[in-house]
Structure 1
Amino acid sequence: MIELTLAEIAEAVGGRLVAGSGGAGPDTVISGEAQTDSREVRPGQIFFARRGEETDGHLFAGKAVEAGAALLVVERELDEHELSVERELEAAGDVPQIVVPEATEALGALATEVVRRVRARGGLTIVGITGSNGKTTTKNLVAGMAERLGETVASEKSFNNEVGGPLTMLRVRDTTETLVAEMGASAEGEIARLTAMAPPHIGVVLTVGLAHAGEFGGIETTFRTKSEMVRDLPETALAVLNRDDPYVSRMAEMTRARVRWFGLHPEAEVRASDIDAGADGTRFTIHAGGESLPVHFPVLGEHHVMNALAATSVALELGLPLAEVVDVLQRQTRAARWRMEVMGGRDGVTIVNDAYNASPDSMSAGLRTLAQIRKPQGRSVAVLGAMSELGEYSVEEHIRIGLQAVRLRISELVVVGKEARQLHISAINEGSWDGESVFFETQDEAYDYLMRTLRPDDTVLVKSSNSAGLRFLGDRLGEAFA
């Protein structure tokens, strides 16, 4: 974070400064990053004591002090007793506190001020990325390309909400040239709030699908929410839009910014052709700015080509030559942790762990990839769990995925968890299938079954929403066949 005095931070967050007994005062300078998890706090950092649905950050403020926090942002003033952990800390009362009405709002307010100051000094380009699928992969690709040009800050993991977004923004320094912010939402207005904190120079919209449909209330609401990314962009900004997605392409009429299309459509300015997906990634030709270059993109899954095109569109705007863009793409080995992550190898068994997120679109794409990369001498095995946050669409979409597994002639379907049972029922009701589907309530049961039945040269896809936790099953299988 940039250097700010305690007085400046208090003013930014609308809080009251309570100076510690260690001599810190209004003019004391703080420059450490912000944390909301006391386990992540390092010396010199700021701890925001948020109240969550399951716990209260104020209960862990003492842990933050013990870890070396230089400032506490709290909703009530804490005394020395509350800040002591297991043993009496002589310095427990030394740490200054800023008391605010609401810690999460204070986190966003501080991020807004830090970004505003760095932007005012010039040299910072902000890239905002949203979409129902592909945000993290695209963010990682853009970050890798931007790093070729200068110091870059990008969202860690999938930090893309009202907490993760500001935490990323607060890592910006005076020397940062590019901020790559993944911006997600589970309700209308959330992306607008994030873009208000860090107004993008480049706004990217990847897809509009049924991810989080249960929370949004339908595809049209999802469309309105995702369009918040480009709706307020100024004429000087760039909107990077998916020409192949009918909902995203409608957003061109909703923005004052310049529009750059990406996709497979002939009108796309950044386009791919000659796509050939296989077990070692995807080969295609990329066309942009009058140039055409061959690409071997090692990330599994034809659907990731669209993420590569979106990232390329951003990188070209930042000034990176197409040849360097291709070099970055060809150095990628995985989209991100637990996203089409290739594991295993013993006896020719390949485990593809893609169980960090799952929407109907990404589940469908995963099954198509599995069918494409199966070895001729081996079987395709889909280990699937529930797709969460689909609301009234849940039963319908699980049925559709079960039917798709059959129609793609996946050799075996292993369904895990009662929330995904409809997927299993859908598959076994498809009488023309000569494969089989089995169901297990627990991961341990599924693991034991797979360890007994997997054969040499089998290819296994493990896919579910994060809440279903099948990524851990994927890790176990990957280790077992390492």
Structure 2
Amino acid sequence: MGCRVIARAIDELSSWAQGRLIPPAPPAAPVTRVVTDSRRAGPGSLFVAIKGERADGHDYLAAVARAGAAAALVSDETAARAALAEAGRADGPGAAMALIVVEDTVAALGRIARGHLADLRQRAGDRGLAVVAMTGSVGKTTTKDLTRQLLAAQGPTIAPVASFNNEIGLPLTVLEADESTRYLVLEMGASGPDDIADLVGIAPLDAAAVLMIGHAHMGGFGSIEGVATAKSHIVRGLLPHGTAILNLDDERAAAMGALAPAGVLTFSASGDERADLRATAVELDEAAHAVAEIHLPGAAPRRVRLGLPGAHNVANALAALGLALAAGAGADDLLDAIACAGLESPHRMAVSDLPGGGRLIDDSYNANIDSMTASLASLPALAGDRRRVVVISEMLELGESSAADHATVGALAADAGASLLVAIGAGAAPAAEAARQRGVEVVETPDADGAIARIPSLLAPGDAVLVKGSHGSGAWRVADHLAAGGPTAVGHEATDGRDGKDAR
């Protein structure tokens, strides 16, 4: 990963990082890029050496130095000095690569991003720089994509690609902002109780949306109340003038209004008349896109067809509209823009055609019981009269509710009219059993490779295939294989044996 940044002096970055600079008088050339992937290092770059579960960035410092990087953010000074010596960049006029030595490089990256953002806000002055973010157990990335599109119509906007929503991705997104940026859109995810508190410490917010409190990453929180407490930090982290945008249809999200320092906007996809933003008369058209009467403060209600499938995306659209309103956009302009906004990030309810009249519904980026429920609820409308095939991979990090949640998914697949369920991973076994008990044909495979190998013999021309699962359990690989056009959707007609191709 990496990002381009406005030119920053190395000693300024070191000060923000609260690090020790080696040599004390750094090279005059500024940093214009921050990278965490050594393969993207080059002249003008600051390489952040991160010690991860599978690799240690310090092992690549010699290659980074040889690539001409301006500086490296490190926590292992001994390894860093040895790498510079190996690369011939330990000393010499204009030859040395600067080192910023800190205790924790990820935390220091966050401090650099915080300093960068504070400086940009000061430079923006009266023009303003609105920083908005969203969190929730489902819908974050779709809401982020919609918010980006709404605000980009108003002025220069920065938002993350895919789901850069953690302690590494969020700072890199912040660092992409420059003097021209008017809107900064951030996504905040959490795997533990303090994650969002840490993220809002990096980027204090002008507006924050809470989508819903569900069962994502339950293993890291212990209970649904623990999830709610963790998510509430996005509201607690608002600036004194900040606005909270809260889902009135979710009692735990709605209750966070008491934590907001200033304004609150509520939204309701169920049409609750108490909400500031609401949708009424929601219907799905022939393409399973939601059509609804959208009510916004400051505008007459308008019938709008959303540019993305699924009734569950009405709530995401309302949240995006609320964030854009809080950032200063006009209601009528937003109603024009939301009808044109669509999917941007991959593997999120992406609908495409398969050979032989089939249809692929790729919602495979990640999964929990709430997002599984929403996807399966959309299947009948998206499949039409096609045979319905559901491919799921194990939902991870569910804690004690894992077996029950997977069994629920199997029952929901049957209720959605699935003729065939392909269950990937040992943890998905309860889903397989629940579906089998309801008369659904079931195939179980140990991993995504097994599913890909079986796909040619399982699918027929004209099938509708929904693919859904946690990113770490590999459903997305099956979706990519199908989308690549290997011997898949027309499996019974395949003759040449060619295969398709294979971030949180």
Common topology (TM > 0.5): yes
Residue 120 of structure 1 aligns to which amino acid in structure 2?
Q
Give the direction of change, closer, same or farther, for the CA distance of 1:161–1:47 in structure 2 (3 Å limit).
Answer: same
Task: For residue 32 of structure 1, give the secondary structure of its aligned residue in structure 2.
Answer: strand
Match of 2:112 among 96, 110, 113: 110
Match of 1:298 among 307, 324, 330: 307
Deviations 1:190-216 (A, max 9, x none): 111111111100011111000000111
Aligned length: 473
Q: CA–CA distance in 1 between the matches of 2:460 and 2:379?
A: 16
1:149 offset after TM fit, Å?
1.8
Task: For residue 204 of structure 2, give the secondary structure of its aligned residue in structure 1.
Answer: coil
Residue 417 of structure 2 aligns to which amino acid in structure 1?
R
Deviations 1:53-104 (A, max 9, x none): 222111112233344422111113356752488x878999532111112211
Q: How does 1:96-107 map to 2 (within 5 A)?
A: 96-107=98-109
Q: CA–CA distance in 2 between the matches of 1:79 and 1:221?
A: 40
Deviations 1:325-367 (A, max 9, x none): 2443333442520111123332110011111110100011111
2:20 aligned partner: 16
1:76 and 2:76 matched: yes
1:389 aligned partner: 397
Greater Cα offset, 459-468 or 110-119? 110-119
The percent of aligned pairs where both chains have the same amino acid is 35
Q: CA–CA distance in 2 between the matches of 1:220 and 1:442?
A: 33
1:154 offset after TM fit, Å?
1.1
Task: For residue 134 of structure 2, give the secondary structure of its aligned residue in structure 1.
Answer: strand
Match of 1:408 among 399, 410, 416: 416
1:270 aligned partner: 277
Give the direction of change, closer, same or farther, for the CA distance of 1:447–1:11 in structure 2 (3 Å limit).
Answer: closer
Q: CA–CA distance in 1 between the matches of 2:305 and 2:419?
A: 28
1:279 offset after TM fit, Å?
2.7
Q: How does 1:425-444 map to 2 (within 5 A)?
A: 425-430=433-438, 433=439, 435-444=440-449
Deviations 1:25-69 (A, max 9, x none): 348352423221212335312111111122211111223334442
2:500 aligned partner: none
Would the aligned equivalents of 1:371 and 1:410 in 2 still touch at CA under 8 Å?
no
1:368 and 2:372 matched: no
Q: How does 1:302-313 map to 2 (within 5 A)?
A: 302-313=311-322
Greater Cα offset, 466-475 or 270-279? 270-279
Task: For residue 155 of structure 1, give the secondary structure of its aligned residue in structure 2.
Answer: coil
1:320 offset after TM fit, Å?
2.8
What TM-score do the two structures reach when normalised by structure 1? 0.92
Q: How does 1:29-428 map to 2 (within 5 A)?
A: 30-77=30-77, 78=79, 82-83=83-84, 94-121=96-123, 122=125, 123-264=128-269, 265-277=272-284, 278-289=286-297, 290-334=299-343, 336-376=345-385, 378-428=386-436
Give the direction of change, closer, same or farther, for the CA distance of 1:342–1:41 in structure 2 (3 Å limit).
Answer: farther
Task: For residue 426 of structure 1, give the secondary structure of its aligned residue in structure 2.
Answer: helix
Residue 62 of structure 1 aligns to which amino acid in structure 2?
A
Task: For residue 428 of structure 1, give the secondary structure of its aligned residue in structure 2.
Answer: helix
Q: CA–CA distance in 2 between the matches of 1:120 and 1:240?
A: 25
Residue 301 of structure 1 aligns to which amino acid in structure 2?
G
Q: CA–CA distance in 2 between the matches of 1:294 and 1:41?
A: 49
Q: CA–CA distance in 1 between the matches of 2:107 and 2:304?
A: 44
Give the direction of change, closer, same or farther, for the CA distance of 1:426–1:169 in structure 2 (3 Å limit).
Answer: same
Q: Which runs of 5+ in 1 are unaligned?
A: none
Q: Which runs of 5+ in 2 are unaligned?
A: 491-504
Give the direction of change, closer, same or farther, for the CA distance of 1:79–1:390 in structure 2 (3 Å limit).
Answer: closer
1:390 offset after TM fit, Å?
0.4
1:465 offset after TM fit, Å?
0.2
Task: For residue 364 of structure 2, give the secondary structure of its aligned residue in structure 1.
Answer: coil
